[in-house]
Amino acid sequence: MLIRINFDQTQYGSERSIYFAQRGFEVIRFWNNDVSNDIEGVLEKIYLVIQVITGKND
């Protein structure tokens, strides 16, 4: 799993995400203000993605 903070929405950013996805990485993106203003929401999303990846959906 890769976590990108303050990701860009340019073609380069999209290509980079595709590159990692093709290699089996789950890419999660967050803006800086999400991390600063809603860390609980960011952590919850990370937790949920980990559950999906590991097959432990409780």
Domain containing residue 36: 2-54
DSSP tag of 1: -
pLDDT category, 58, cuts 50, 70, 90?
low
**What total of structural domains would you count in the chain?**
1
Mean pLDDT calculated for residue range 19-30:
89
Mean pLDDT calculated for residue range 21-48:
92
pLDDT at position 13 over 80: no
Supply the DSSP string of 2-26, one letter for each residue. EEEES---SHHHHHHHHHHHHTT--
pTM check: above 0.85: no
Map residue 29 onto helix, strand or coil.
strand
